[in-house]
């Protein structure tokens, strides 16, 4: 004789000839997962927008630093081929460079300094996330092409 299962025959949902049997769903329970998803959808959208905004802010800061280094490098040259502001804007993505403010000084004290300020674009209209501001300092070019102690023609070795 077979040993009865704990909890009696009602506790077993397994049939002898196939998979488990489930009770039929009630009519008012149908579609509840869709409603729950719709309730959670705004939270998912806010998290997605926050992630995109964070990435956009990080990209803007990176591009601002690149522009500051390019502007300072150009300002440090003895005879630059372009202005430091133009060099800074050329080093950035075009859509960020349009609103960039690039300022640089001359070679005072043997160093050239450039500062770039860019407004951080917003994914959500009406929100202001401030601006990214980065500065860079480069040593000034003294006009000689002397690298490593050798003259222009490689003499002195």
- Binning pLDDT at 50, 70 and 90, where does residue 143 land? low
pLDDT one-digit tens code per residue, 1-55: 566 556 555 555 555 666 666 766 566 667 788 888 888 899 999 999 999 999 9
User: b/e map of 37-76 (b: 16 or more CB within 10 Å)?
Assistant: eeeeeeeeeeeeeeeebeebbeebbebbbbbbbbbbbbbb
Lowest mean pLDDT among 33-37, 67-71, 88-92, 147-151: 147-151
Task: Return the structure tokens found at 126.
Answer: 């009406």
- pLDDT 10s digits, 56-71: 999 999 999 999 999 9
pTM: 0.67
Under 8 Å CB-to-CB from 134, ≥6 apart: which residues? Answer: 61, 64, 65, 67, 68, 115, 116
- Interval 96-125: pLDDT, tens: 998 899 999 878 788 999 999 999 999 988
Residues linked to residue 90 through DSSP beta bridges, in sequence order: none
Predicted local confidence at residue 23, as pLDDT:
63
pLDDT of residue 36: 82
Distance of CA 70 to the CA centre of its chain: 20
The pair of three-digit structure tokens given for residue 45, joined into one six-digit string: 């959208």
> With 60 as the cut, is the pLDDT of residue 153 above it?
no
Q: Where are the domains of the chain?
A: 41-139
């Amino acid at each position: 004789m077979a040993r009865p299962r704990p909890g009696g025959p009602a506790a077993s949902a397994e049939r002898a000839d196939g998979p488990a049997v489930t009770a039929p769903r009630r009519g008012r329970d149908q579609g509840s997962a869709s409603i729950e998803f719709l309730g959670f959808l705004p939270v998912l959208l806010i998290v997605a927008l926050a992630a995109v905004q964070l990435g956009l802010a990080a990209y803007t800061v990176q591009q601002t630093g690149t522009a500051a280094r390019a502007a300072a490098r150009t300002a440090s040259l003895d005879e630059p081929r372009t202005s430091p502001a133009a060099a800074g804007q050329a080093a950035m993505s075009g859509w960020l460079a349009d609103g960039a403010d690039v300022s640089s000084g001359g070679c005072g004290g043997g160093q050239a300094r450039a500062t770039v300020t860019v407004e951080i674009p917003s994914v959500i209209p009406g929100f202001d996330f401030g601006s990214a501001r980065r500065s860079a300092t480069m040593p000034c070019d003294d006009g000689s092409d002397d690298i490593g102690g050798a003259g222009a023609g490689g003499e002195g070795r």
